[in-house]
Structure 1
Amino acid sequence: MEIIEKLTEKIGAGVQENVPLAPYTTYKLGGPARYFFIAKNNEEIKTAAAAAKDLDLPIFILGGGSNILVSDNGFSGLVIKMANRELGVEKNKIKAEAGALLGRVVSLAWKNSLTGLEWAAGIPGTIGGAVRGNAGAFGKSISDSIKSVETFKLLSPRSIAGRGAGGEGIMTKEECQFTYRESIFKHDDDLVVLGVDLELQAGEQAAIKQQMLDCVQRRSCGHPKYPSAGCSFKNIFVTDEIRKKIRKINPAGEEKIKGGKIGAGWFIDQAGLKGYKIGGVQVSDEHANFIVKVDETARAEHALMLISYVKQQVRDKF
């Protein structure tokens, strides 16, 4: 029996073969998934993961595809596309399944006069992806509003942090080990976010809406329109040594330090790399921390080469 037949037998008729992944990402780059399944609820996610495990297939969990670069060779195993999107509100709390779009969660908070997520207005991707990467902007992050996270151990059914033998359970905010753009989920590929409980504050609906519009406006003014994976590099914490370097490079750079950090794009800009191009990918002319796809000759390999080149140039110059 072929693997596709075995997967179909275990999961259902929704399993597909050789599905292009580029349309499922904001970068619009990359090759196909050998096997692809859209999981509409948590049980389907668990069933698909178990089937892949039984068949010794690599597994990749795909959310909104807004912060990933898929290899030109694609993925040789099973890609499980998260489409578990249930949302609920109770008083000042929102319960969201991982596949829910972040924009829907932000909108739900506004409609219920709950403040705390305005900064996320206009950010693509899913709430699950936001939790995994501790997404944030304008000095705030999703972990500020997290009460707990529902999780599932993908491959290793060991009991940790209150989970049962099947690896399922609830993790507290502290157990998630959130730091700047980091979490335990980025360092344990077995650990999958199934859902999140957010705790917000009561607010005034009109004021919340205005803050959302302000955030969207700031993004539309400073972010490029070409396909990308968002900012390529994390902002840099400014130590005394880095502050001295900034003064030496360009004294005006001190004005760019916000909340003890400076955007990596500033260093890339100072290195004269805006507009630098490899193949169909280039450093954005609008925002140097964006590596954008500018034409259809672009390949994932070009993006990797350009990211590596930018790193080396900034290291060599600064």
Structure 2
Amino acid sequence: MENITDKIQANHPLASLTTFKIGGSAEYFFELTNKEDVSEIFAWAKDKKLNITILGGGSNVLINDQGVKGLVVLMKNEKIKVSGKRLEVEAGVTLNNALSLALSNNLSGLEWSKGIPRATIGGAIRGNAEAFVNSMSDIVETVLVYDRSKNIFENYSNKMCDFSYRQSIFKKNLDLLIWSAVFKMTEKEKKEIEEKAINSLNFRIEKYPQLPSAGSVFMNLDPKIVEKSNKKLYDEILCHKIGRLGTISVGLVIDMLGLKGKTIGGAKISLEHANFIVNTGNATADDVAQLISLIKTTARDKFGIALHEEIQYIGFI
């Protein structure tokens, strides 16, 4: 039987595992596929006094050019099955693969996610991914979680996940590892599901940049906070720009700052959508971090508005 230490790799490159195509190497790297390995790999890291970083599909992250100290665990558990009107999926399954299985069984609930690059179930639940007035919280029934602090697996109900806009308990409590989930789906005509999925895909192709990126850089804005920060700007313009989810597009605000197209090194604020920073070919994490800092500083100085990142920084501390 193969020892778990035989599966651990040293100095493993990470850039190709991200949608940004940016970043250095992991000091130690492990692909997690079996539930039986969970407690053992965490115990190994604890014994070595190593920090642990969980990586899914590699979207919504920015990895340091100098790499990541400690152990990087790549979620490669990819079992998936249909049980009646429920979809049982492990964290390493991509949203697109989950949608494909749902579609073949006439199950609706994930068609809004079509075209999100490489996003996995674990990452989507953690960040409560959403689009077109739909979100992961709408379909999550239960989540099987490994609690590092207790060394046990526990089932979390939807309520226990503490979902909110782009948030969940899994972002707040880093001891919790999402292993799998059960989605409560709705039975619909395949043609209707296909049509919505195609519309979602076409929207992303038309509106979002096709160059490598991490997806949305910042979270959209709460109108109440914007009004408090800059009442004049809110009353004259932004109060008329509140979207279907009750937020104000941060891409619009960045565009109003005149930053669309701004470039530092190989990183560029996308011309297609200002809440995306794209890798034009040779961008470094430092290039991206400088652009993010420029956007935040300009928004604060010009509009008095504080922006908050949606992307996760890995290896920067």
TM over 0.5: yes
* Distance apart, 1:126 and its partner CA: 0.5
1:286 aligns with 2:280: no
List aligned pairs for 1:105-116, cutoff 5 A. 105-116=98-109
Show CA shifts across 1:96-119 (max 9, x none). Answer: 010111111111111110111111
List aligned pairs for 1:126-137, cutoff 5 A. 126-137=120-131
One-letter amino acid of the counterpart of residue 179, structure 1: S
* Distance apart, 1:247 and its partner CA: 4.3
1:123 aligns with 2:129: no
One-letter amino acid of the counterpart of residue 20, structure 1: P
One-letter amino acid of the counterpart of residue 66, structure 1: S
Closer/same/farther in 2, CA of residues 78 and 259 from structure 1, 3 Å limit: closer
Partner residue of 1:16 out of 9, 12, 21: 9
Secondary structure of the residue that 1:64 maps to in structure 2? coil
Percent identity, aligned pairs only, is 41
Secondary structure of the residue that 1:216 maps to in structure 2? helix
Partner residue of 2:253 out of 253, 267, 272: 267
Closer/same/farther in 2, CA of residues 103 and 243 from structure 1, 3 Å limit: farther
The answer to whether the 8 A contact 1:10-1:51 is kept is no
Q: Which residue of 2 aligns with 1:311?
A: 296
Structure 1 distance, partners of 2:109, 2:223, is 26
Structure 2 distance, partners of 1:83, 1:139, is 29
Q: Which residue of 2 aligns with 1:33?
A: 26
List aligned pairs for 1:59-208, cutoff 5 A. 59-124=52-117, 125-154=119-148, 156-157=149-150, 166-208=151-193
Secondary structure of the residue that 2:27 maps to in structure 1? strand
One-letter amino acid of the counterpart of residue 207, structure 1: E
Secondary structure of the residue that 2:162 maps to in structure 1? coil
Q: Which residue of 2 aligns with 1:49?
A: 42
Show CA shifts across 1:246-292 (max 9, x none). Answer: 443x47x7246333212100000000000111111111111000011
Q: Which residue of 1 aligns with 2:312?
A: none
Q: Which residue of 1 aligns with 2:233?
A: 245
* Distance apart, 1:16 and its partner CA: 1.1
Deviates more, 1:265-274 or 1:75-84: 75-84
Q: Which residue of 1 aligns with 2:308?
A: none
In the superposition, the TM-score normalised over structure 2's length comes to: 0.90
Structure 2 distance, partners of 1:106, 1:247, is 41
Structure 1 distance, partners of 2:97, 2:140, is 16
The answer to whether the 8 A contact 2:95-2:113 is kept is yes
Show CA shifts across 1:199-224 (max 9, x none). Answer: 01111101100100000000000100
Structure 2 distance, partners of 1:309, 1:62, is 27
The answer to whether the 8 A contact 2:80-2:89 is kept is yes
Deviates more, 1:89-98 or 1:238-247: 238-247
Secondary structure of the residue that 1:99 maps to in structure 2? coil
Structure 1 distance, partners of 2:198, 2:268, is 29
One-letter amino acid of the counterpart of residue 238, structure 1: P
The answer to whether the 8 A contact 1:87-1:100 is kept is yes
1:216 aligns with 2:201: yes
Deviates more, 1:124-133 or 1:238-247: 238-247
Extract unaligned runs of 5+ from structure 1. Answer: 1-8, 158-165
One-letter amino acid of the counterpart of residue 82, structure 2: V
One-letter amino acid of the counterpart of residue 189, structure 1: L
The answer to whether the 8 A contact 1:45-1:80 is kept is no
The answer to whether the 8 A contact 2:147-2:154 is kept is no
Structure 2 distance, partners of 1:277, 1:215, is 29
Supply the RMSD in Å over aligned alpha carbons. Answer: 1.8
* Distance apart, 1:13 and its partner CA: 2.3
